[in-house]
Structure 1
Amino acid sequence: MTSYGYFLASEDHGPRALVEQARMAEEAGFEALWISDHYHPWLDAQGHSPFVWGTIGALSEAVSLPVETAVTCPTVRTHPAIIAQAAATSAVQLRGRFRLGLGSGEALNEHILGTAWPRAAVRQEMLEEAVDVIRRLLTGERISHRGRHYTVENARVYTLPEEPVPIDISAYAPAALDLAARVGDGFVTMGPEADLLREYRERTGGERRLTSCGTKVCYDTDRERAVRTVLHRWPNMLLPGELAAQLPEPRHFEQAVQLVTADHVREGPFALGDDPQAHVNSLTACAEAGFDRVYVSQIGPDMRGFFDFYRDRVLPRLPR
């Protein structure tokens, strides 16, 4: 059975706006929330990057929906011991409705302390060690750890939820699937990647774990205006290859997205405009690929119109 959630874009909205969107999402019938964890937006046009843990605290008082970070990088910008404490507090605030989504990160957010940005294989190695540190701290035991990448001295997380915090691992390519299958309680990715999901389930031996897929759309009563909105605010979605992980500043993304045209947006893999069937098809693609949860994020300013549209014309038509 597939459930549908809303993806809060921290790059595109301030913390108060994100909380209000969460309220509207719950009222519209969405069943869960994702929230991105960034230090910078991808582009200056997006214009935001609030501290995700503060926003999660506000969400815990505003809505009753489950919340997951999609995703936090616990390796460079923030030490895994701090992520463990943040995750435990979030789970307590949300009364157990919190999942910790983790990934290997992007230079855009992780280079800010002057640390060299590691190559992909090293980032995966760091992520695996970080997950081990986080899991051990979430037991409430006092730990000391001296590994290849991290040191922890006499640390104990005292404020803990009643149940362990589930940890989901993101993967966008087959090379990252082995780690996701070995150390995660679930799997997250963007887009209806059926082959990736199939391979993930093969690597877990068919064990049932939560799998989640995210997508973006642009609701607007004028489809061409939606195209222009995406081209202005989120053209980075259409950049190929490893650029998203490697470029260090929004200005570099702004240079790269000059290659993205309106035709690229029109032909892209996301719904544009106010045709309900196009939006149903976009989310159904993830459901039919086999994902348990599908999260959608609205690009553009008409948030009330989006949530009313989804409540009345999209969510009731989605496969469950």
Structure 2
Amino acid sequence: MTQFGYTLMTEQSGPRELVRYAAAAERVGFDFEVSSDHYSPWLTSQGHAPYAWTVLGAVAQATERVELMTYVTCPTMRYHPAVVAQKAATLQVLSEGRFTLGLGSGENLNEHVVGEGWPAVAARQDMLVEAIEIIRALHTGDLVTYDGQYFRVDSARIWDAPEGGVPIGVAVSGPKSVARFAPLGDHLVAVEPDGDLVTGWDAAHSGDSRKIGQIPISWDADKDTAIARAHDQFRWFAGGWSVNSDLPTPAGFAAATQFVRPEDVADSIACGPDLDEIAESVRPYLDAGFTDVAIVQIGDEAQDRFLAEAAGPLLERLRAL
């Protein structure tokens, strides 16, 4: 059976609010919760970017049942992979085994802040391979020394290593990244309902794996309000990964999306009060073979009402698909 998740959108909510939403999402019945890991929002109207790992540590204590996941962390520029390994191990211990480490090759928006430039995609994927190798090695609890092209680790050990390590999901976007990362990751992460990704992953991956997708929605009792909110805060979504990964600032996203109209956003994101329509917008992920789908409710101002009024009935409809 498909699992449905709730997204802790760090770009649109403050840290205390995110912890409160996480607890409410567990109570209403979501199966898992994913958190973005950004240094900056895509648009200034979103207005937030708290440190995801601190938020997730608090969420681990505010919840008891839901699985937790980063969606996704880049372990190559802002963070050295040895530090990501330590953070993930600690969160796995705090959550008593509920955490999955979602990894990806990153976005310029978040990684350029450390002043190391922005490598080409081929180099970023090479870096991610090394990072996964380092994280895997450290999660054994053994002493690790690693000398790669991009990263070195000198006599490092995770002293609080969880038994069995931490499951790793890897974000992929096409056949090349699938072929490269399926042998290295435990689970597939993708933001497009592409059945070819699932098929390719299964062919290249040994053993069972989850396929974890994500989709934005804009629920509101008033459809025009829902569309306006989605346009104001999520029109960057229209750019697609090939554009979004390279833009460096919210100003860049604002300029790139200045001609995106509200009706364009409404064509790509389910907006309004119709829960059947919203549920149907998720169906392409189910048809593509995804085992897990995380819902993004757009807008901090909408979270309380969404969780109190719409989330429960929406989950019923999603599970009936």
When normalised by structure 1's length, the TM-score is: 0.96
Moved more, 307-316 or 174-183: 307-316
Deviation of 1:241 after TM superposition, in Å, equals 5.4
Check whether the contact 1:84–1:138 (CA below 8 A) recurs between aligned residues: yes
Structure 1 residues 178-257: aligned runs within 5 Å: 178-204=179-205, 207-240=207-240, 242-257=242-257
Equivalent in the alignment of 1:147:
148
Aligned to 1:19: 19
Q: How many angstroms apart in 1 are the aligned matches of 2:259 and 2:29?
A: 38
| TM-score between the two structures when normalised by the length of structure 2 | 0.96
Q: Which residue of 2 aligns with 1:78?
A: 79
User: 2-side partners of 1:283 and 1:21: how far apart?
Assistant: 22
Moved over 6 A (4+): none
What does 1:1-320 align with in structure 2 at a 5 Å threshold? 1-64=1-64, 65-204=66-205, 207-240=207-240, 242-268=242-268, 270-300=269-299, 301-319=301-319
Q: How many residues align?
A: 318
Over the residues paired in the alignment, what is the CA RMSD in angstroms?
A: 1.4
SS of residue in 1 equivalent to 2:286: helix
Q: Aligned-pair distance for 1:259?
A: 2.2
Return closer, same or farther for 1:199/1:309 CA change in 2, 3 Å cut-off: farther
Q: Distance in 1 between matches of 2:266 and 2:289?
A: 26
Farther-moved stretch of structure 1 (172-181 vs 45-54): 172-181
Question: Structure 1 pair 229/11, CA: closer, same or farther in 2 (3 Å)?
Answer: same
Kept in 1, the 8 Å contact 2:142–2:157? The answer is: yes
1-side partners of 2:168 and 2:254: how far apart? 33
Alpha-carbon contact 2:29-2:312 (below 8 Å) kept: no
The 2-side partners of 1:46 and 1:18 are apart by 14
Q: Aligned partners of 2:224 and 2:296: how far apart in 1?
A: 19
Question: 1:187 & 1:92 partners in 2: Cα distance?
Answer: 23
SS of match in other structure, 2:190: strand
- What amino acid does structure 2 have at the position aligned with 1:154? S
CA contact (8 A) 1:35 1:52 kept: yes
- Structure 2 unaligned spans of 5+: none
AA paired with 1:108?
A: L
**Any conservation in 2 of the 1:181–1:200 contact (CA below 8 Å)?**
yes
Q: Is the 8 A contact 2:141 2:161 kept in 1?
A: yes
Counterpart CA distance in 2 for 1:241 and 1:169 is 15
Q: State the Cα distance separating 1:244 from its structure 2 match.
A: 0.7
Q: Percent identity?
A: 37
* 8 Å CA contact 1:53, 1:86 repeated in 2: yes
Distance (Å, rounded) in 1 between the aligned partners of 2:308 and 2:201: 35
User: 1:309, CA displacement in angstroms?
Assistant: 3.6
Q: How big is the shift at 1:229?
A: 0.6
Contact 2:7 / 2:296 at 8 angstroms: preserved in 1? yes
Structure 1 letter corresponding to 2:296: S
When residues 99 and 116 of structure 1 are mapped into structure 2, their CA distance, relative to the original with a 3 A threshold, is: same
Cα shift readout 1:274-303 (whole Å, capped 9, x = no counterpart): 101111112233223211111101002221
Can you give the 5+ residue segments of structure 1 that lack an aligned partner in the other structure? none
